A and B are shown apart, each in its own frame.
Chain A
Amino acid sequence: MQRYILFRLVQAGATLLAVSLVVFILARLTGNPLDLLMPIDSTPEQYAQESQRLGLDKPLYVQFGRFLVNSVQADLGKSIRTGRPVLELLRQRFPNTMKLGLSAMALALAIAFPLGILAAVRRGSFLDGAARTTAVFGQSLPSFWVGILLLSVFAGTLHLLPAGGAGGLKHYLLPTVTLALTGFMLSGVVRLLRSSMLDVLDSEYVKLARAKGLSENVVVWKHALKNALIPVVTFVGFYFALLLGGASVVVETVFAWPGVGRLAYEAVMWRDYPVVQAVVLLLATLLVAANLVVDILYAYLDPRVRYR
C-alpha cells in the first residue's frame, strides 16, 4: 500500500508537470495578450517595453522554466490585467468557490442518496419512476437557464432573495440550488447509485444476509450500501474536483459569484494568461488530488483493492 501511494504521488507530479506545459503552450497559442491590454494607438516601442517588463520577449522555454520555478515557490506571477499577484486572487476567490461547491454537493448528495437507494429498493415503483425522471430532467436542464429563471422569480418578481454576489446565507440559496440540481451531480449519483444498488441487491451475499434473519434496513444500509458505493465514490470525487476547479463558471457568472469560475471567465476574456494558467493548474491539482483521495477511499471500501 505504501509503495502504491508513493507511486501514485510520483504519477500525480508527472501529470501536473504535463498539464502545466500544455496549459502554458495553449495560453500562448490564443494570441498575444498585449493586443488586448495596450491602447490601440500604442507605439512599437511601448509595446516592446511592456513585453520586456512582462518577460514575453524571452524564448518560450525560458518563460516556461521561470513559470515552473515560480510555481513551485508558490509564485504564480501577476495578473496582466490588474497587476495583482495571481496567488492572492486565487486565495481570495477559492474559498467562495469551495463554500458554494460544498454546499451544492451536500444538497445534491442529500437528495441523491436516499433517492437512488430507495429507487433501487423499490424498483419499478412510483418512486423509482420519479427518481429516474428527475435524473434525466436535471441533467438536461441548462444551468444558466435555471439560474436566470430562479433569479427572475425569487429576486426579480418576489424580491425574496438577493440577485447576486456573495454574502450571508440568503446569497447561497439560489446558486446552490442551481448548481446542485442541474448538470450531472444529482442525476449522475442517482443513476449510478440506483444501478449499482440493483446489482448488489441481486447478489448472493445479500441473499445470505437476508437468510440470517437480518432486517431489510440492515441488509440495505450495511451489506448492500458499502458495496454499491464503490462505483459512486469515483464519480463524486471527480465531479467535486471539477466543481471546485471552476466548472461552475456558468453559475458563478449568472449569480455574480466572486469565485474561481468567474475569475477564469474574466481571465479568458482578457487573455490574462497567468490567471488562466493558474486556474487550469488549480483544476488539474484538484483532479489529481481527488483521484488520490478516491483511491484511498476505495481501499477503505473494498478490501480486494487494499491488498494489491
Chain B
Amino acid sequence: MTAAPILETTDLRKYFPITKGLAFSRVRGWIKAVDGVNFDISPGETFSLVGESGCGKTTTARIILRLEPPTSGAVRFRGQDIYALSGEELKAYRSSVQAVFQDPWSSMNPRMRIGPMVAEPLKYSSTMSPGDMKSRVAELLEQVGLEPAQANLYPHEFSGGQRQRIAVARALALKPSLVVLDEPVSALDVSIRAQIMNLLKDLQGQYGLSYLLIAHHLATVRYMSHRIAVMYVGKIVEMAETEELFSRPVHPYTQALISAALPARPGVERAEIILRGTVPSPVDLPPGCRFHPRCPQAHVRCSQGEPELREVSPGHYVCCDHC
C-alpha cells in the first residue's frame, strides 16, 4: 500500500505506576504496558495486533481511542497528532474512529434499550430525523444479525454473543473510517463469527474502512488481516504481511505462537514449540532481548544489547539480531 497512512504511531509508550497506600502513596515501580510501539495503518487496510495476553494490545488501542494518554510518543491520524486536537477537530476524530471492545457488557448501560443505544452516536454527530434514525438502527441491527424488533430489549436480555453484535452495530452507526476491533468476534459462534467477519470485510470493500484488529484466534486474524504485528511484553517483535508472516515466521516467539494455534479438526498433528519459563512481568524486564529467557534459540549475546526492529525482507520486520 502506497497511500499515506490513515493512522501512525511513533514510539508509543505507556507506563502505569505501581503505588501503595491510599492518599499519600509513593510510586514503587512502573508497569511498562506499552514500550515503544511503531506502526501505521493505510486506508482500507486491516492491521492486526496479536501476542501474549497482557502484552499491551488493549492499552495501545485505548491510547489510539484517546481513552488513555500515552506516557510518551505520538499518534497521528491523517497527519495530525490526536492528543493536540480540540473542538470540532476532536469531534470529527471521535466520529471517524470507533471501537468494538473485548467486553460487550461494560460499554453498555444496563438501563438503556438497545435501540437508543445503537442510535446514540448518531444523535451526537448528525442531524437525522427520529424516523430516519429508527430505520437506520433497524438496518444496523439487521446487518449484524439481529431483528429490528429487538431494539426494545435491554442488554441483559441478550446472550454474550448477541451483545457483541450490538456493539458492532453501534460502532458502525457513523460509518467511521477507522474501527478498532478488540476481540470483536471471540464471543460469537463460528457461523455468526463468519457472518460478522464477512460483514466487516464487505464494509471495508464498500467504504474503504481501515481496521485495527486485536484478536487471539489466529485463524480469524489470518482471514481478516492484510498486515500483522506480533507483540511481546509491550513491544512489536515482528511485523509483516499476513501470508508472509504465516508462511515464513522469523521471530522465535512468532513461531511458537503460530505452532500453538489449534487446528480446527481432530487428528491433525502439528509440531508445537513449547516455550519454557513464564512470561516476564512488565515491571522488571530482563536485560537485552525481552524474549531471551524463554527463547529456544537464545544466544549469550541476546541477554546483552536490546535488539531493534529491522527489515529482513521488503515489508517484513523482525526484532531479533540472530534470526
State the A residues within 8 Å of B (CB): 1-2, 5, 199, 202, 204, 296, 299-300, 306-307
Given A202-B156, A204-B105, are A5 and B110 neighbors across the interface (CB < 8 Å)? no
Chain A neighbourhood of B25, CB < 8 A: 1-2
Chain A neighbourhood of B16, CB < 8 A: 307
**In the complex, B198 has a CB within 8 A of chain A:** no
Q: Smallest Cβ distance from B110 to chain A, in angstroms?
A: 6
A1 touching B110, Cβ below 8 Å: no
**In the complex, B1 has a CB within 8 A of chain A:** no
Given A199-B110, A202-B110, A307-B19, are A1 and B24 neighbors across the interface (CB < 8 Å)? yes
**In the complex, B84 has a CB within 8 A of chain A:** no
B22 touching A306, Cβ below 8 Å: yes
Can you list the 10 inter-chain pairs with the closest CB atoms, starting with the nearest? A2-B24, A1-B25, A1-B23, A199-B110, A202-B156, A299-B22, A5-B23, A300-B22, A306-B22, A296-B23
Task: Give Cα distance in the complex from A307 to B110, angstroms.
Answer: 25
Q: Smallest Cβ distance from B281 to chain A, in angstroms?
A: 18
Task: Give Cα distance in the complex from A2 to B105, angstroms.
Answer: 32
* Interface SS, A side: helix
7 residue pairs of the A-B complex, CB under 8 angstroms, read A1-B22, A1-B23, A2-B24, A202-B110, A296-B23, A300-B22, A307-B19
B19 touching A2, Cβ below 8 Å: no
Task: Give Cα distance in the complex from A204 to B163, angstroms.
Answer: 14
| Nearest CB in chain A to that of B25: its residue | A1
| Nearest CB in chain B to that of A2: its residue | B24
Q: Smallest Cβ distance from A130 to chain B, in angstroms?
A: 24
| Nearest CB in chain B to that of A303: its residue | B22
Task: Give Cα distance in the complex from A20 to B22, angstroms.
Answer: 32
Q: Smallest Cβ distance from A120 to chain B, in angstroms?
A: 14
| Nearest CB in chain A to that of B16: its residue | A307
Taken residue by residue from 106 to 145, chain B's Cβ proximity to chain A (1 for < 8 Å, 0 otherwise) reads as 0000110000000000000000000000000000000000
Task: Give Cα distance in the complex from A300 to B25, angstroms.
Answer: 13
| Nearest CB in chain B to that of A4: its residue | B23
Q: Smallest Cβ distance from B180 to chain A, in angstroms?
A: 21
B110 touching A2, Cβ below 8 Å: no
Task: Give Cα distance in the complex from A306 to B23, angstroms.
Answer: 8
Task: Give Cα distance in the complex from A307 to B31, angstroms.
Answer: 13
Q: Smallest Cβ distance from B68 to chain A, in angstroms?
A: 11
Q: Smallest Cβ distance from A302 to chain B, in angstroms?
A: 12
| Nearest CB in chain B to that of A198: its residue | B110
Chain A neighbourhood of B23, CB < 8 A: 1-2, 5, 296, 299
Most buried by A among B22, B24, B156: B22
Q: Smallest Cβ distance from A307 to chain B, in angstroms?
A: 7
Task: Give Cα distance in the complex from A204 to B24, angstroms.
Answer: 33
Chain A neighbourhood of B105, CB < 8 A: 204
Chain B neighbourhood of A1, CB < 8 A: 19, 22-25
Chain A neighbourhood of B156, CB < 8 A: 202
Chain A neighbourhood of B110, CB < 8 A: 199, 202
Q: Smallest Cβ distance from A77 to chain B, in angstroms?
A: 36
Chain B residues 77 to 108 lying within 8 A of chain A, measured CB to CB, are 105
Chain A neighbourhood of B22, CB < 8 A: 1, 299-300, 306
Taken residue by residue from 1 to 43, chain B's Cβ proximity to chain A (1 for < 8 Å, 0 otherwise) reads as 0000000000000001101001111000000000000000000
| Nearest CB in chain A to that of B110: its residue | A199
Task: Give Cα distance in the complex from A205 to B23, angstroms.
Answer: 27
Q: Smallest Cβ distance from A228 to chain B, in angstroms?
A: 13
Q: Smallest Cβ distance from B165 to chain A, in angstroms?
A: 19
Task: Give Cα distance in the complex from A138 to B105, angstroms.
Answer: 36
Task: Give Cα distance in the complex from A24 to B19, angstroms.
Answer: 44
Chain B neighbourhood of A202, CB < 8 A: 110, 156
Q: Smallest Cβ distance from B19 to chain A, in angstroms?
A: 7
Chain B neighbourhood of A299, CB < 8 A: 22-23
Chain B neighbourhood of A307, CB < 8 A: 16-17, 19
Task: Give Cα distance in the complex from A306 to B25, angstroms.
Answer: 10
| Nearest CB in chain B to that of A199: its residue | B110
| Nearest CB in chain A to that of B105: its residue | A204
Task: Give Cα distance in the complex from A42 to B23, angstroms.
Answer: 60
Task: Give Cα distance in the complex from A5 to B105, angstroms.
Answer: 32
Chain A neighbourhood of B19, CB < 8 A: 1, 307
Task: Give Cα distance in the complex from A296 to B21, angstroms.
Answer: 13
Task: Give Cα distance in the complex from A199 to B112, angstroms.
Answer: 13
| Nearest CB in chain B to that of A202: its residue | B156
Task: Give Cα distance in the complex from A306 to B17, angstroms.
Answer: 12
Task: Give Cα distance in the complex from A299 to B24, angstroms.
Answer: 12
| Nearest CB in chain B to that of A296: its residue | B23
Chain A neighbourhood of B17, CB < 8 A: 307
Task: Give Cα distance in the complex from A296 to B110, angstroms.
Answer: 27
Task: Give Cα distance in the complex from A199 to B106, angstroms.
Answer: 13
Q: Smallest Cβ distance from B277 to chain A, in angstroms?
A: 29
Q: Smallest Cβ distance from B17 to chain A, in angstroms?
A: 8
Chain B neighbourhood of A296, CB < 8 A: 23
Task: Give Cα distance in the complex from A307 to B24, angstroms.
Answer: 12
